[in-house]
Chain A
Amino acid sequence: MAGTIDQQIALGAVDDAQTLPLLGRLHEWVVTVDHKRLGIMYIAGGLFFFLIAGLQAATIRLQLAVPDAGIVPPQVFNRLLTMHGTAMVFLVGMPILTGFFNYLVPLMIGARDLAFPRLNAFGFWLWFFGAILLYFSYIGGDGLYGAGSAPDVGWFAYAPLTELPFSRGNSTDYWILSIFLTSVGTTATAINIIASAFCMRCEGMTLSKMPVLVWLAMVVAFMMLVALPPLSAAQAMLLLDRFLGAHFFDTQAGGSAILWQHFFWIFGHPEVYILVIPAFAFASEIIPVFSRKVIFGYSVMVAASCAIAFISLSVWAHHMFAVGMTPAGNSFFAASTMLVGVPTGIKIFNWLGTIWGGKLRFKVPMLFSLGFLFQFLIAGLTGIMLAVAPFDWQLTDTYFVVAHFHYILVGAIIFMDFAAIYYWFPKATGRMLSETLGKWHFWLFVIGFHLTFDTMHFAGLQGMPRRIYSYQPGRGLDTLNLIESIGALVQGVAVLILVINVVRSLRSGEVAGNDPWDAWTLEWSTASPPPEYNFEEPPVVRSRRPLWDLKHPEDPDWKYE
């Protein structure tokens, strides 16, 4: 009964929203505390900055396509690589993952919203203005005549380059404040996800019946709580250095530049896992549905994710083999880095076990997931290579490293972000994305990706250093770099197809219905797009696949779990 009244009220609200003028509808989005709208805003914002930072990467590739291209001067090149790196991590990777978790966690646990909806909106707007602040530096970052606009200190901003004498003007301050704000916003989301997963689950959903995605969202949220503060604290110290004359990283007064590196990577390495575990989460939802099987080894999957989270907090100094640590330090961080490969390998075998013997359906989300599996494996293997300290000494700061981490960030994370977009777009909008365009997108992106990033490994082995704006001709780097740039162009075309696909589907896409993929988690039991209150009646679940139980009452899961 209560449900019907809710429904009437909500339907009234929807009617109001549709009759509102454009400004009124925009206002609805600005004042919203609804987890679904905030989730969509996070993802849309992330994709917007993905296009900008992608264009910056394209400019970098254009400059490096041939030796001495002369497209951008060195100073501009430094700004491009700094902004590309910073934006891709904090303005693209983070909001897309928080957006998906915002959208999906309440729906998957059968709740009507996150635990603290207003905190959620607060977190989003902190992220939003923090993000604006980073790009505003192009306009306002000068601060001192001729000091240059956007930050150019690299995304990990090593001290003492970031100290006042070496980084004049305000560009570095913009970098600090922007990242600080987005981190606080992300922390708010992390608190929200943990409180929601612990306190808002629907009746019958014990912790061991949560979808794998919610488990992994919780793991990521814990990592955010522990790993983001070291960066924020180090940035606070750097601000004190720059504005109040403190000496944290001031080597002239006895301060330590290495301390910044430690603090940064105590954040920086777990950050990689904060970004990649959501990709695991998407894969763990998508692969079973398109293999028509339950996920292989649910509890091992969850345990492996917890193990990755735990071990990844003690591997940070493998980014610092080249600074000259003690042999004991090198050995410890080499060993712990190799150790983190064990639970990661377990996960890959679990996904393979899920696919094995399944009735595979090669829809676009599944294609991207398969690409992810393959590329993530390669990225993991080059990671193990770089964990060997002497090998790292040889290849540190070369394109081999660039290739390795782009294999993770693009080959694993961006691929799974695309898979997730194709998979959940029908739920969020009520429209399907085109399969044909999706397949064009996938194949072009795979080809472009491998052209660019496979080749980078070889350029790195040939000795091409990272972060240089040009290179000498005739050193065996010309062809490789040209191929990399052609690959970047192909990837750009692929992303353009995604944009066209999204716009086209929003206008005239095929109507999706509640459950277009014949899936099993709770979000597919409600309408597409879901009403503001998500579920008319709070659902009651008895197994990990509540929709399977509903669809197959003769053979429900709860009999076996």
Chain B
Amino acid sequence: MAATATAISTTATPWNETLPRRGHVGILALILTESAFFSIFVVAYIFYLGKSLTGPFPKDVLSPPILNTICLLSSSITIVLAIRALRAGSIRTFAILWFLTFALGLEFMIGTALEWHHLIYSDGLTIGTNLFGTTYYSLVGLHALHVTIGLMLILLVLVLTMCGYMNERHIERTDVLSWYWHFVDAVWVVVFLTVYVIGR
């Protein structure tokens, strides 16, 4: 039995290499289920558009966070370049680009915090004010929660890199993390279109 197995595997591609990587399949499955979760919040947002009984209304208080969007979307580019550097064997370039990714993500979170501070203290919009507040804070907040989780993981990798633990063996793991990060960015495109373009 064992002999046949070896005989087969030497003649053709080894069986294991014909199967997909489990990390990638796992993260795709996670992305699928997260997409379903987000879509319910997007549906609720669209369903309640224009149904608020009292103000403030979206067109009065919302302005598109262009800088935030640019930062978050470009962090997807830096993370791809970082992993490309890791594949090429340059840990130093990887570290710089990885830090840049983290910084861009952090900017997004700071931007969101400032936006929320303004909405709460200047415009008087909280989650309990009206249906707009309810759906706005929960949808944008759910996305911000995912950015926060992503940032924590990116920070973990950053710290491990600084401590000298990063090498080529971890390419697949960082790659899996980057897929999650791309997903968070893609969700932002949907949230941005829903909240700041369609919903305004």
B128 near A245 (CB under 8 angstroms)?
yes
A203 near B5 (CB under 8 angstroms)?
yes
The docked-state distance in angstroms from the alpha carbon of A196 to that of B22 is: 7
CB-based nearest A residue for B128? A245
B20 on the A face (CB < 8 A): yes
Max count, chain B CB within 10 A of own CB: residue among A116, A198, A234, A245: A198
A232 on the B face (CB < 8 A): yes
User: Mask for A227-241, Cβ within 8 A of B = 1, else 0?
Assistant: 111101110110010
A115 near B26 (CB under 8 angstroms)?
yes
B37 near A199 (CB under 8 angstroms)?
no
Complex interface: chain A residues within 8 A of B4 (CB): 540
Max count, chain A CB within 10 A of own CB: residue among B40, B48, B52: B40
B21 near A233 (CB under 8 angstroms)?
no
A226 on the B face (CB < 8 A): yes
The docked-state distance in angstroms from the alpha carbon of A229 to that of B51 is: 25
B113 on the A face (CB < 8 A): no
Main secondary structure of the interface of A (DSSP, over half): helix
CB-based nearest B residue for A255? B131
Stretch of B27-35, B55-63, B115-123, B179-187 contacting A (4+ beta carbons < 8 Å)? B27-35
User: Mask for A175-201, Cβ within 8 A of B = 1, else 0?
Assistant: 000000000000100111011101111
Q: Separation in Å of the A87 CB from the closest CB of chain B? A: 24
User: Mask for B74-91, Cβ within 8 A of A = 1, else 0?
Assistant: 000000000000000000
B15 on the A face (CB < 8 A): yes
Complex interface: chain B residues within 8 A of A259 (CB): 44, 47
The A210-238 residues at the B interface (CB cut-off 8 A) are 221-222, 224-230, 232-234, 236-237
Complex interface: chain A residues within 8 A of B194 (CB): none
Complex interface: chain A residues within 8 A of B20 (CB): 198-199
Known: A203-B5, A240-B127, A256-B47. A230 touches B40 (CB 8 A): yes
Complex interface: chain B residues within 8 A of A194 (CB): 25-26, 29
CB-based nearest A residue for B5? A540
A225 near B33 (CB under 8 angstroms)?
yes
A496 on the B face (CB < 8 A): no
Stretch of A246-254, A300-308, A325-333 contacting B (4+ beta carbons < 8 Å)? A246-254
A5 on the B face (CB < 8 A): no
Complex interface: chain A residues within 8 A of B41 (CB): 233, 237
B44 near A203 (CB under 8 angstroms)?
no
Q: Separation in Å of the A495 CB from the closest CB of chain B? A: 34
CB-based nearest B residue for A232? B37
The docked-state distance in angstroms from the alpha carbon of A266 to that of B52 is: 25
The docked-state distance in angstroms from the alpha carbon of A191 to that of B28 is: 9
A537 on the B face (CB < 8 A): yes
The docked-state distance in angstroms from the alpha carbon of A523 to that of B134 is: 52
Complex interface: chain B residues within 8 A of A73 (CB): none
B178 on the A face (CB < 8 A): no
A254 near B53 (CB under 8 angstroms)?
yes
User: Mask for A249-271, Cβ within 8 A of B = 1, else 0?
Assistant: 00001111001000100100000
Complex interface: chain A residues within 8 A of B133 (CB): 246
Q: Separation in Å of the B137 CB from the closest CB of chain A? A: 8
Known: A199-B19, A240-B134. A254 touches B25 (CB 8 A): no
Complex interface: chain A residues within 8 A of B34 (CB): 229
A323 on the B face (CB < 8 A): no
B32 near A226 (CB under 8 angstroms)?
yes
A203 near B9 (CB under 8 angstroms)?
yes
Complex interface: chain A residues within 8 A of B163 (CB): none
Name B15's contact: one of A191, A203, A247, A263 (CB within 8 Å): A203
The B97-156 residues at the A interface (CB cut-off 8 A) are 127-128, 130-131, 133-135, 137-138
A198 near B19 (CB under 8 angstroms)?
yes
Known: A240-B127, A253-B131. A226 touches B33 (CB 8 A): yes
Name B36's contact: one of A229, A240, A537, A538 (CB within 8 Å): A229
The docked-state distance in angstroms from the alpha carbon of A228 to that of B34 is: 10
A244 on the B face (CB < 8 A): yes
B22 near A248 (CB under 8 angstroms)?
no
Q: Separation in Å of the B130 CB from the closest CB of chain A? A: 7
Main secondary structure of the interface of B (DSSP, over half): helix
Known: A115-B22, A253-B131. A237 touches B138 (CB 8 A): yes
B193 on the A face (CB < 8 A): no
B8 on the A face (CB < 8 A): yes
B2 on the A face (CB < 8 A): yes
Q: Separation in Å of the A205 CB from the closest CB of chain B? A: 9
B33 near A187 (CB under 8 angstroms)?
yes
The docked-state distance in angstroms from the alpha carbon of A263 to that of B42 is: 12
B1 on the A face (CB < 8 A): yes
The docked-state distance in angstroms from the alpha carbon of A191 to that of B40 is: 20
Known: A228-B33, A233-B37. A254 touches B8 (CB 8 A): no
Q: Separation in Å of the A520 CB from the closest CB of chain B? A: 18
The docked-state distance in angstroms from the alpha carbon of A109 to that of B55 is: 59
User: Mask for B1-16, Cβ within 8 A of A = 1, else 0?
Assistant: 1101100110000010
The docked-state distance in angstroms from the alpha carbon of A225 to that of B32 is: 7
CB-based nearest A residue for B14? A203
Name B25's contact: one of A199, A201, A233 (CB within 8 Å): A199
The docked-state distance in angstroms from the alpha carbon of A232 to that of B36 is: 10
A204 on the B face (CB < 8 A): yes
A263 near B40 (CB under 8 angstroms)?
yes
Complex interface: chain B residues within 8 A of A201 (CB): 19
CB-based nearest B residue for A248? B134
Complex interface: chain B residues within 8 A of A200 (CB): 19, 22
Q: Separation in Å of the B2 CB from the closest CB of chain A? A: 6
Complex interface: chain B residues within 8 A of A247 (CB): 128, 130-131, 134
Q: Separation in Å of the B166 CB from the closest CB of chain A? A: 22
The docked-state distance in angstroms from the alpha carbon of A191 to that of B135 is: 29
Q: Separation in Å of the B5 CB from the closest CB of chain A? A: 5
Name B37's contact: one of A116, A224, A229 (CB within 8 Å): A229
The docked-state distance in angstroms from the alpha carbon of A222 to that of B37 is: 14
The docked-state distance in angstroms from the alpha carbon of A187 to that of B21 is: 19
Q: Please report A residues at the B interface, Cβ cutoff 8 Å.
A: 115-116, 187, 190-192, 194-196, 198-201, 203-204, 221-222, 224-230, 232-234, 236-237, 240, 244-248, 253-256, 259, 263, 266, 537-538, 540
What 7 A-B pairs come out closest when comparing CB atoms?
Answer: A245-B128, A233-B40, A229-B37, A229-B36, A225-B33, A199-B22, A246-B134
Q: Please report B residues at the A interface, Cβ cutoff 8 Å.
A: 1-2, 4-5, 8-9, 15, 19-22, 25-26, 29-30, 32-34, 36-37, 40-41, 44, 47-48, 51-53, 127-128, 130-131, 133-135, 137-138
Q: Can you pick out 5 interface pairs between chain A and chain B where the beta carbons lie within 8 Å of each other?
A: A191-B26, A245-B128, A253-B130, A253-B131, A254-B131
Q: A190-B29, A263-B40 are in contact. List 12 more A-B contacts (CB 8 A).
A: A115-B22, A116-B22, A191-B30, A194-B29, A198-B25, A203-B9, A225-B33, A232-B37, A245-B127, A254-B48, A256-B48, A259-B44
